[in-house]
Structure 1
Amino acid sequence: MAPTILVEQQDGLLTLTLNRPHKRNALNTEMYQALTTALRGAAEEQSVHVLLIQGQQTCFTAGNDLADFMGKQSLTADDPILQFLHTLADFPKPVIAAVGGAAVGIGTTLLLHCDLVYLADNARLQLPFVELGLVPEFASSLLLPRAVGHLKASELLLLAEAIDAGEALRLGLANRVLAADELLPFARAQGLTLAAKPPKALQRSKALLKQELKQAVHFVIDTEARAFSLALQGEEAQARIARKLGR
């Protein structure tokens, strides 16, 4: 069986590819563990200057694997999901996301922690937490209003309507929109360009850009996780998720 996270390094660029296309790259515990391991290794590896996270040009990720999720009673500090969230939020090197097709739930919230975001023209971003009886995660309740304003963030989080690539670009959630077949080569080329720059200057500049909200982000990740755990155990989420799974 092929690994669900593909890891490739070239010329200072580490590429992590979500590789579970038959499940629309829905993230499960195994994938979160693999991502966290790769991130921690890349943070320490001096030959890695830039990180690229991608799926396929037709699908980034459908979000969390709901069947895997239903087995959780709570999100504790040692849960692979929380480990991943804190590790990516703390990652010291520039992170690029290349997003084609569906970017659902964490597929959208993780973009708020990236330094460059490129979308295919087929990308659709959606935050269906309330629709599933859940609440926002990955500090999106903090970062999304700062990115798009309170009213638009409320619309995205409360109504849970999907937005297309053009709208995401207009809102400032992406740097550029490309044709689907141009997305991954372009993101890779941008990653290699960035990786050729002085690495210490890159890391120090990223740290300065992130410093204002660094502590707040980790605090909100944990605050949201507690609220998420309570919601996950509640009747609303249990019924909505079971319906989604056809149970």
Structure 2
Amino acid sequence: MESALLQTQQHGVLTLTFNRPAKRNALNTTLYQQLSAALQQAASDEQVHVLLLQGQVDCFTAGNDLADFVGKNALAADDPILQFLHTLADFPKPVIAAVGGPAIGIGTTILLHCDLVYLGDNARLQLPFVELGLVPEFAASLLLPRAIGHLKAAELLLLAEVFDAQKALQLGLTNQVVAADELLQFAYAQAIKLAIQPPKAVQKSKALLKQELKQAVHYVIGLEARAFAQALCGEEAQQRITRKLEGRSKPIS
């Protein structure tokens, strides 16, 4: 069976590719564990200067695998999801995201922790937490309003509507929009440019850019996780999640 996370390392760039195309690259427990392990290893590997996160050109990730949430009523400190969130938030090297197709839930909030973000013109982003009876995660309630202002953040989080790459560009959530069929090649070329910069200077500069909010990010990740777990075990969320899963399983007539 092919791994849910593909890893390639060349020219100082570690590329991590979500590889669950049949599940639209939804992140499950196994994939979170693999991501955390890859990040921890990359952090100490002096041959890795840049991390590139991607899916396929037509799908970044559909977000958390909702099947993992059915009947779940807690997020312990050692939960693979939380371990990944904290690990990426602390990752010392620059992170680039190449996003084509759907980027749902954590597929969008993860971008708030990246240093460079490139979207294909086919990208479709969404923060569907409220729609599912849940609350934001990955410190989105802290970082999103700071990035785009309270009103726009409230619009994206509370109405939970899909928005396209051009709107993401207007909001400042991406560095550039490129043609979908050029996305992965373009993002890799940008990663190479970054990888040849002096690595210590790059890492120190990233640390300075992140320093102001570093402690707050970890605090809010925990705060949101507790609220998320409370919402998750509620009737509202379980009904919404079950209904969505049932809708996906219905055959197309």
Question: TM-score normalized by structure 1?
Answer: 0.99
Could you tell me which amino acid in structure 1 is paired with residue 151 of structure 2? L
1:200 correspondence with 2:200? yes
Q: What is the distance in 2 between the residues matched to 1:179 and 1:173?
A: 17
Aligned pairs for 1:57-136 (under 5 A) are: 57-136=57-136
Q: How does 1:49-60 map to 2 (within 5 A)?
A: 49-60=49-60
Aligned residue in 2 for 1:181:
181
Taking a change above 3 Å as real, the CA distance of residues 38 and 71 of structure 1, as seen in their structure-2 partners, is: farther
How far apart are the structure 2 equivalents of 1:69 and 1:194?
38
Cα RMSD over matched residues? 0.7
The match for 1:9 is 9
With normalisation by structure 2, the TM-score equals 0.97
SS in structure 1 of the partner of residue 221 of structure 2: helix
Structure 1 residue 71 displacement after superposition: 4.4
Amino acid at match of 2:41: G
Counterpart of 2:169 in structure 1 is: 169
Q: What amino acid does structure 2 have at the position aligned with 1:18? A: F
Residue 191 of structure 2 is matched in structure 1 by: 191
User: SS at the partner of 2:246?
Assistant: coil
> Unmatched 5+ residue regions in structure 1?
none
Instruction: State the identity as a percent.
Output: 75
1:236 is displaced (CA, Å) by 0.3
Alignment check: 8 A CA contact 2:71 2:238 kept: no
The 8 Å contact of residues 4 and 19 in structure 2, kept in 1 or not, is answered as yes
Q: Deviations over 1:199-223 (max 9, x none)?
A: 0000000000000000000000000
Is 2:129–2:157's contact at 8 Å kept on the other side of the alignment?
yes
CA contact (8 A) 2:25 2:60 kept: yes
1:129-179 per-position Cα deviation (integer Å, ceiling 9, x unaligned)? 000000000000000000110000000000001110000001000000000
> Quick one: distance in 1 between partners of 2:105 and 2:114?
15
The CA deviation string for residues 32-77 of structure 1, in whole angstroms up to 9 with x for no partner, is 0000000000001111000000000100000000012224221111
Partners in 1 of 2:69 and 2:53 — Cα distance? 22
Instruction: Tell me if structure 1 keeps the 8 A contact 2:118–2:187.
Output: yes
CA deviations on 1:2-31 (whole Å, 9 max, x unpaired) are 100001000110000000001100000000
Partner-residue secondary structure (3-state), 2:118: strand
Report the counterpart of residue 24 of structure 2 in structure 1. 24
In structure 2, how many angstroms separate the alpha carbons of the residues matched to 1:14 and 1:128? 30
Give the number of aligned pairs: 247
Q: Structure 2 CA distance, aligned partners of 1:43 and 1:73?
A: 32
For 1:152 and 1:17, the matched residues in 2 are separated by 30
Please give the alpha-carbon distance, in whole angstroms, between the structure 1 residues aligned to 2:84 and 2:163.
Answer: 25
Counterpart position of 1:139: 139
CA distance in 2, matches of 1:69, 1:193: 40
1:108 is displaced (CA, Å) by 0.1
